[in-house]
């Protein structure tokens, strides 16, 4: 008989894995399919590979975690920051400066030193060997400050050092550009001739996985009246000698029985290193040995042969792989202008513009937009409204441009969106109903164009701010199911005190969202939160809640489509070998 079984093993720690044993057992039961029919299954084991950290690296949270107290959730990844400076002015005619860069991070409005480079003597263009290792969070604004100081050879402290300039930015700005160069500002924020360049590189674990396919021949029959129904179990042999089950196929080299009493056929052991020659086309096979038969039967040779027919290493790309490869986050905002918000001229209205206190719409917009803007190079954001009667004919629209320029609905930066929102309120009549399917479809049309490029260039995030339960639920479900096939995520923030319980069904965390026709979403792309849950929290808490899932949504889409980050060769993306 011939049976193909396949599974996935982690390629992490390959150097160790090359020597680590893998125990594979086979069993079987009666089969009804003809010989040669393939049985396949997959599983993922994403163990992380820890990269060695040199003496020059320093985790900033080892030196400042207690002081900062910034993050409670696990970081998305770690980023290495390398620093170089140019054009530093001489201290005087007789000597050159001894530069050192101090890295600070902002927490609760204050700057805290978290690490510093080495001092390079007599240099006006230092390239520092020190590497800052920073925890990266997509859903948070991480403000950094790089200060350049001239520390004389007589002392190493900062108190007596000369301040040469500073540069402030966010970590998001650095990783989105990969290399950020800016002028160093002196006291009074005046720019001199000196500049600083910060280069980012992701310090990632190894999420690659290995796909293996096996076939078997001449296996022992375990049933009197029919052939065995073999299945395969793959175990990882741990450092302490114990074995951990990694994968079980539909049939193992056990003989599967419906009563659960599977008949053991045999086993063999191998290593990652032993299987690698399949990459060069070499035939790799093992004798399937039943230890009991080996002891009892004098002429026992084996219980069949198992052949490795496929060995495929598949690269799993990370969120920062795509961002650093040039993928832009296209941020779009849609604002609810239905009558249930109340008259904007009334201080009780959710749209009331207070001279000193922003309303909930503005708070949510700024909290989320401030994160996303770092990943969009032109900082131009489309802004739409829905549920209002708009000039000149005052017909109800569910996808009008807030700046009233239908040909170019983009606003310059988040501040531009705020100004367009404030300027449009006196010109429209709040009405209804609350339909959001049209705006989802509008953004989906743009995302569809991106999908057809088959490149990781633009990923779309739609932020919908609404004060009530939507009235076109069926159309919205249909639109979301369609959008789940596109490079797109939808964030919905419920404004005000309405009952949003029906909105939870759009967020697939508690189950699979389906269209009215029963079609399930391909990916979970919707995140819904009521703003009132964060009314007494900082804006950062809201942004963290709604944006935390976006990196995985980006990765799931592009990896699912087999789209690799720009700049990576096909060899880096995937290697498949069969004998």
User: Is the separation of the CB atoms in 76 and 136 below 8 Å?
Assistant: yes
Interatomic CA distance for residues 336 and 513, integer angstroms: 23
- What local confidence, expressed as pLDDT, does residue 40 receive? 29
**Sheet (strand 388-390) strand order:** 395-397, 388-390, 429-430
Q: Give the tens place of pLDDT for each residue, 15-63.
A: 444 444 566 666 654 322 233 322 222 222 322 222 333 333 333 333 3
Res. 382 pLDDT band, cuts 50 70 90: very high
More confident residue, 504 or 125: 125
Using a CB cutoff of 8 Å and minimum separation of 24, what contacts does 401-410 make? Answer: 402/335, 409/382, 409/383, 409/384, 410/380, 410/381, 410/382, 410/383
**All residues at 6 or more sequence positions from 33 whose CB lies less than 8 Å from its CB, including other chains:** none
Q: Give the tens place of pLDDT for each residue, 512-552.
A: 888 999 999 999 999 998 999 888 888 888 888 889 889 98
Phi and psi, residue 569, nearest 5°: -80, 165
Maximum C-alpha span of the chain: 99
Res. 298 pLDDT band, cuts 50 70 90: confident
- What local confidence, expressed as pLDDT, does residue 203 receive? 77
More confident residue, 400 or 209: 400
Interatomic CA distance for residues 272 and 313, integer angstroms: 12
User: Is the separation of the CB atoms in 566 and 326 below 8 Å?
Assistant: yes
Interatomic CA distance for residues 462 and 271, integer angstroms: 47
Interatomic CA distance for residues 359 and 495, integer angstroms: 10
Tokens 């925890």 sit at which residue?
135
Both structure tokens of 390: 């708009």
Segment 91-108 mean pLDDT: 84
Residues of the chain with CATH 2.60.40.150: 77-203
Percentage above 70 pLDDT, the chain: 76
Residues of the chain with CATH 3.40.50.410: 319-561
CATH number of 77-203: 2.60.40.150
Highest mean pLDDT of the ranges 303-307, 410-414, 496-500: 410-414
Listed range (171-180, 492-501, 530-539) with the worst mean pLDDT = 530-539
More confident residue, 114 or 382: 382
The residue ranges of DSSP E strands in 224-299, in sequence order, are 231-237, 243-255, 263-271, 284-287
Q: How high does pLDDT run on average in the chain?
A: 80
More confident residue, 259 or 470: 470
- What local confidence, expressed as pLDDT, does residue 195 receive? 95
More confident residue, 109 or 460: 460
Tokens 């890295």 sit at which residue?
103
Q: Is the pLDDT of residue 64 over 60?
A: no
User: Domain 319-561: which topology?
Assistant: Rossmann fold (3.40.50)
As a three-state string, the secondary structure of 127-140 is: EEEEEEEEEECCCC
Tokens 């550009």 sit at which residue?
177
- What local confidence, expressed as pLDDT, does residue 413 receive? 95
Distances in Å between the Cα of 417 and the Cα atoms of 155, 271, 542 are 50, 58, 19
Q: In terms of C-beta density within 10 A (0-12 exposed, 13-18 middle, 19 or more buried), how is residue 14 classed?
A: middle
The answer to whether the predicted template modeling score (pTM) of the entire model surpasses 0.75 is no
């Amino acid at each position: 008989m011939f049976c193909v079984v396949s599974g996935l093993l982690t390629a992490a720690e390959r150097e160790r894995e090359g020597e680590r044993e893998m125990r594979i057992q086979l069993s079987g039961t009666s089969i009804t399919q003809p010989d040669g029919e393939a049985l396949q299954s997959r599983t993922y084991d994403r163990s992380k590979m820890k990269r060695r950290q040199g003496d020059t690296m320093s985790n900033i949270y080892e030196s400042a975690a207690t002081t900062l107290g910034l993050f409670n959730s696990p970081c998305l990844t770690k980023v290495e920051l390398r620093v170089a400076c140019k054009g530093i002015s001489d201290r005087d005619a007789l000597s050159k400066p001894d530069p050192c860069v101090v890295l600070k991070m902002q927490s609760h409005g204050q700057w805290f030193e978290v690490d510093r480079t080495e001092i390079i003597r007599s240099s006006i263009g230092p390239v520092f060997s020190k590497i800052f290792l920073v925890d990266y969070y997509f859903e948070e604004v991480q403000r950094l400050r790089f200060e350049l100081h001239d520390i004389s050879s007589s002392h190493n402290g900062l108190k007596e050092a000369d301040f040469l300039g500073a540069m402030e930015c966010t970590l998001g700005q650095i990783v989105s550009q990969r290399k950020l160069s800016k002028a160093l500002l002196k006291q009074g924020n005046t720019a001199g001739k000196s500049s600083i360049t910060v280069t980012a590189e992701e310090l990632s674990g190894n999420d690659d996985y290995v796909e293996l396919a096996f076939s078997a021949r001449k296996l022992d029959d375990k049933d009197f009246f029919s052939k065995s129904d073999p299945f395969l179990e793959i175990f990882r042999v741990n450092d302490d000698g114990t074995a951990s089950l990694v994968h079980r196929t539909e049939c193992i080299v056990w003989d599967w029985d419906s009563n659960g009493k599977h008949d053991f056929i045999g086993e063999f052991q191998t290593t990652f290193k032993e299987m690698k020659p399949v990459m060069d086309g070499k035939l790799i096979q093992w004798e399937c040995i039943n230890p009991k038969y080996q002891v009892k039967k004098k002429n026992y040779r084996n219980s069949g042969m198992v052949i490795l027919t496929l060995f495929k290493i598949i690269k799993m790309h990370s969120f920062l792989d795509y961002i650093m490869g040039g993928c832009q986050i296209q941020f779009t905002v849609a604002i609810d202008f239905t009558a249930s918000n109340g008259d904007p001229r009334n201080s009780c209205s959710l749209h009331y513009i207070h001279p000193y206190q922003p309303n909930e719409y503005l708070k949510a917009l700024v909290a989320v937009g401030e994160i996303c803007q770092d990943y969009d190079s032109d900082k131009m954001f489309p802004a739409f409204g829905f549920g209002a009667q708009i000039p000149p004919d005052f017909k109800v629209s569910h996808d009008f441009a807030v700046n009233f320029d239908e040909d170019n609905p983009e606003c310059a930066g988040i501040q531009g969106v705020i100004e367009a929102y404030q300027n449009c309120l006196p010109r429209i009549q709040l009405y209804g109903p609350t339909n959001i399917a049209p705006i989802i479809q509008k953004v989906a049309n743009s995302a569809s164009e991106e999908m057809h490029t088959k490149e990781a260039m633009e990923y779309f995030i739609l932020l919908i701010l609404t004060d009530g339960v939507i009235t076109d639920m069926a159309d919205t479900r249909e639109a979301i199911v369609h959008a789940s096939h596109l490079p797109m995520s939808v964030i919905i923030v419920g404004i005000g005190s309405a009952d949003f319980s029906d909105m939870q069904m759009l967020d697939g965390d508690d189950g699979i969202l389906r269209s009215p026709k029963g079609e399930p979403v391909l990916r979970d792309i919707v995140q819904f939160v009521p703003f009132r849950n964060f009314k007494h929290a900082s804006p950062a808490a809201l942004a963290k809640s709604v944006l935390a899932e976006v990196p995985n949504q980006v990765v799931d889409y592009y990896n699912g489509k087999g789209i690799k980050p720009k700049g990576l060769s096909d060899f880096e993306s995937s290697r498949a070998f069969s004998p």
